[in-house]
Amino acid sequence: MSQQPDRSADNVLQRKGAWLRTVKAVAWSFVGLRKGSEFQEDTQKLNPIHVIVVGIAGAAVFVVGLVFLARWAVVAAK
């Protein structure tokens, strides 16, 4: 009996996920609202590398937005 190498990792990285769908999935994840069925569909269709890139970019935009909001609040309070 010959064992074939597990190709599931290769398949995961070769998934073709639309960037807009990835952005939508990450945005809903930031909010914390996600249906279980949509999560299952995303895990099958989205490329994990794309999810990581969009997640890091989204976190950076969120932090920069908070910094600008805090600066505006300090200036407005004077």
Q: How many other β-carbons are positioned within 10 Å of the β-carbon of residue 54?
A: 20
Q: Distance of CA 19 to CAs 1, 11, 30, 46, Å?
A: 41, 18, 16, 9
- The answer to whether 45 and 17 are in contact (CB under 8 A) is yes
Q: Where in the chain are the domains?
A: 8-77
Structure tokens at 71: 């600066």
Higher pLDDT, 66 or 12: 66
pLDDT band per the 50, 70, 90 thresholds, residue 45:
confident
pLDDT in tens, 10-36: 555 556 668 888 998 898 888 888 777
Q: What letter represents residue 75's amino acid? A: V
| CA distance linking residue 50 with residue 31, whole number of Å | 19
Is residue 7 scored above 60 in pLDDT? no
